Amino acid sequence: MTKEEKTLFDINNKIADVLKDKQTDIQLLEKELYEPLIQKAKDVKNKISLDMNKKYESDLLRLNSEQRKAKEIVDNIFIEKAKDLWYAPETPVFLWERLRSWSKDVNWKKEKAKGIVKVYDGTQILASVPSYRLPKKGDIIVIRLKNNGEIGLKFDIISSYGTMNNYHPMWLSETDTPTDNIKTRAEKNQ
């Protein structure tokens, strides 16, 4: 290594040492001067939050209670209205499947699947599904029956928010068919 290279190497090392000392001093000063200010600001923020929680706590508790009561009343209205939308609750229904065919005629086949009409009131035990797929209180659902006739966990939602879904499985009572059912008769009467 030449004398000039050694000088450059030493200067680079000194610069690195000075930069390291500078960073250490910054960290020490931040710890000494800056962090106490941050902690003081956090303490002030927490005190403000605590004071506001105390100030509005009774109003929020009262409003939440009123909200629960109002929601219960609305849910009960939807539950009552749902009883007149479709088949009566506890009506046994059967699943019909549309057969695929190359002809223009639509063919239907009555499946073995059987279900029972219910108005969801929040007490029925249903299959474990994501919360966004659960019915709301007042929705009409068909709970599928097991092969032995016991109530199962699977269900289909037939109505939501007080209106019939456009697309739902073709569940019909024992006397109805895909061409003559509660929906087609209602359309003829209009």
Q: Are residues 22 and 67 in the same domain?
A: yes
To the question of pTM greater than 0.85 for the whole model, the response is no
Domain range enclosing 145: 92-189
Q: Are residues 78 and 112 in the same domain?
A: no
Buried b (16+ CB within 10 A) or exposed e, 34-53: eeeeeeeeeeeeeeeeeeee
List the chain pLDDT tens, one digit each, 190 residues: 899 999 999 999 999 999 999 999 999 998 888 899 999 999 999 999 999 999 999 999 999 999 999 999 999 999 999 988 889 999 999 998 887 766 666 778 888 889 999 999 988 888 878 888 889 999 999 999 998 988 888 999 998 888 888 777 889 998 888 888 888 887 888 7
Q: Are residues 69 and 120 in the same domain?
A: no
Q: Are residues 123 and 51 in the same domain?
A: no
Q: Are residues 103 and 71 in the same domain?
A: no
Are 144 and 138 in contact by the 8 Å Cβ rule? The answer is no
Q: Are residues 74 and 118 in the same domain?
A: no
Q: Which pLDDT belongs to residue 129?
A: 81
